[in-house]
Structure 1
Amino acid sequence: MLHHLSFGVSDLARSEAFYDASLAPLGFVRVWGDETAIGYGRVGDEDKFAIKLVSAGLSIPGRGFHVAFAADSRGAVERFHAAALRHGGRDNGAPGLRPNYGPHYYAAFVLDPDGYQIEAVINDPV
């Protein structure tokens, strides 16, 4: 349904380091970039997620908004979480099963350096 999604960020270098590291375990890489924005997607594909420098007036969506990135394994969810915390993210839910979302829903939640709520998830039986 969605073609892509963009986040405004207050510090492109800080967000670049965070997203380069935290999206890599999920198989997402930088597919384009310039001095004001960076796009992420699968190797050889278009961006599905972008970060864009906002010099003033950055507004982070509140409660109820988050973005979930697909993971290929539970290990990838765990590596996403660890990388995010090492690169300026804040824990918002350690890796684990979330039975309230389904019997196989394995996810981790973090807040990025600007405070966006992001998740990595796999919803497959082991």
Structure 2
Amino acid sequence: MGTTMLHHISFGVRDLGRSGAFYDAVLAPLGYVRVFEHDTALGYGKAGGGDKLSLKWVPEVALPGDGFHLAFAAETPDQVRAFHAAALQHGGRCNGAPGPRPHYGCHYFAAFVVDPDG
């Protein structure tokens, strides 16, 4: 039986409503949906499954330091483009337009964004 290293990841956000709208929009093209919602937390994963990403409301959240990077898997370049477009439409900032990244691998196609909390 195989195991995975991570069950899920959680991080704090200043405004759960704003962050929820952002992650609803950017994760939809990748096939992820909101799988739970509480007054102080949201969870995302595959429909009918558990959360893989949780957002926790922390009013005075400290931002992750240099080097923090959260990467989502996409199956197609069109999904990457849709993710990037949704991010920009919902308060994210571009940190690298969609395109090939051959220095990461011959089939690596990515986009980089900064979420509304930075």
Please give the TM-score of this superposition, normalised by the length of structure 2: 0.94
C-alpha distance in 1 between matches for 2:65 and 2:28: 26
Correspondent of 1:107 among 110, 114, 118: 110
Higher strand share: 1
Cα-Cα RMSD: 0.7
What residue ranges of structure 2 are gaps of 5+ in the alignment? Answer: none
- 1:69 equivalenced with 2:72 (yes/no): yes
The residue that corresponds to 1:14 in the other structure is 18
Q: Equivalent pairs: percent with the same residue?
A: 65
C-alpha distance in 1 between matches for 2:8 and 2:83: 20
* 1:37-79 deviation per Cα after TM superposition (whole angstroms, max 9, x unaligned): 10000011100001110022x1111221101001121100000
Correspondent of 2:59 among 50, 55, 62: 55
Please give the TM-score of this superposition, normalised by the length of structure 1: 0.88
What residue ranges of structure 1 are gaps of 5+ in the alignment? Answer: 116-126
| Count of residues paired in the alignment | 114
Structure 2 letter corresponding to 1:77? V
- 1:98 equivalenced with 2:98 (yes/no): no
